[in-house]
Amino acid sequence: MATPASQQRTRLTDLATQAGVSTATVSRVLNGKPGVSPAARQAVLEALDLLGYERPERLRMRSQGLVGLVVPELTNPVFPLFAQVVESILAENGYTPLLCAQEAGGTTEDQYVEVLLDHKVDGIVFISGLHADTTADLARYHALRSQNIPLVLVNGHAEEIDAPSISCDDVAALDLAFRHLVQLGHRRIGLAIGPDRFTPTQRKVRGFLDAYARHLGEGEAEDHVVTTLFTVEGGQVAAAELIESGHTAIICGSDLMALGAVRAARQRGLSVPDDISVVGYDDSPLIAFTDPPLTTVRQPVRSMSQSAVSALISQIAGQPAPRSEMLFLPELVVRGSTSVAPSS
């Protein structure tokens, strides 16, 4: 039977391994001693949480306030990823996040905002909210700003809203994907995308059309765009249409759509990537472990989240935050779902 001393050594070793630091560093953090970098301290705190250990009283940071975090849903794994990273950065800065995740037919964004205001939050981060819907009434955001509620908008810039805006550069993302496929010899490249009322959709379509003209310079690029839903089923439907019309490569507006495109290809007895190349978007968690591992365009989630939280905290502190949109460059991650174009 383990003694208390051996249990303590085991805990220190487990925490050190998880955090990637020495047991001495773990000990200094747990005992509140100086000489530990902020990064190492945070790594130990995260290890405590991940391994299910209760934080010692001295390590329980007093909350500086509540911050609302509103996401459209949790089915698409990129939204839980954003939520996790934003919540972690807020916690590092002493704020307690209140996550509001919507579901179809459930609590709406406006209803969540009412709850957050009842809890007297210090600010709200909206990720792909109604601000990204070009048909939505933006008066709800103007009302919040009239109450001096600090806001930050992620992915879905709306110039009329008086708030900092953080976005991934969708136009650059589509150029990265398109250039990759052209270099592999593809000339029949299609785009499977979600509803066109959303700002990110419109930008991805614009990026595709620009890339088509720049790299191929022939034909009607609009004929190679199929609009459905940002879901596996939506990707499957769009890919089926693109495959039937002779496309050898498909760029998708989300990783979920890309998984649907792979399904559509296999239903027709085609191989990915030998017959059809597929590119996703987001680099969601676990996407590297699909069959085949998905080539995708990665959103810089941590950098975007860090900037969003910094902009919000600046506003909470009464400091000015930039009202112009901050665009973050994506990264192409090449894996196993793309290959050279099949010979005719």
Nearest CA to 182 out of 222, 219, 220, 211 is that of 211
Count CB neighbours of 20 within 10 A.
11
The rounded distance, in Å, linking the Cα atoms of 64 and 60 is 12
pLDDT value at 16 more than 60: yes
Tens of pLDDT, residues 270-296: 999 999 999 999 999 999 999 999 999
Q: What is the pTM of this model?
A: 0.84
| Residue 305 or residue 62, greater confidence | 305
Count CB neighbours of 177 within 10 A.
29
The two structure tokens encoding residue 253: 């507006």
179 burial via Cβ count (<10 Å: 0-12, 13-18, 19+): middle
pLDDT value at 268 more than 50: yes
Do the Cβ atoms of 297 and 272 come closer than 8 Å?
Answer: no
Domains of the chain: 4-59 (1.10.260.40), 65-168+300-328 (3.40.50.2300), 170-298 (3.40.50.2300)
Average per-residue pLDDT in the chain? Answer: 91
* 3: confidence class by pLDDT, cuts 50, 70, 90: very low
The rounded distance, in Å, linking the Cα atoms of 224 and 339 is 20
The rounded distance, in Å, linking the Cα atoms of 298 and 81 is 12
Tens of pLDDT, residues 132-157: 999 999 999 999 999 999 999 999 99
Count CB neighbours of 275 within 10 A.
16
pLDDT score at 125: 98
* 103: confidence class by pLDDT, cuts 50, 70, 90: confident
The rounded distance, in Å, linking the Cα atoms of 236 and 160 is 36
**Residue 300: CB partners within 8 Å, gap ≥ 6?**
168, 328, 329, 330, 331
The rounded distance, in Å, linking the Cα atoms of 313 and 316 is 5
> Pairing between strand 331-333 and 295-298?
antiparallel
* 8: confidence class by pLDDT, cuts 50, 70, 90: low
The rounded distance, in Å, linking the Cα atoms of 164 and 312 is 8
Instruction: Determine the 3-state secondary structure of 129 from DSSP.
Output: coil
The Cα-based distances of 111 to 86, 128, 148, 155 in angstroms read 21, 16, 19, 21
* 254: confidence class by pLDDT, cuts 50, 70, 90: very high
pLDDT value at 70 more than 50: yes
Please give the share of the chain, as a percent, with pLDDT higher than 90.
73
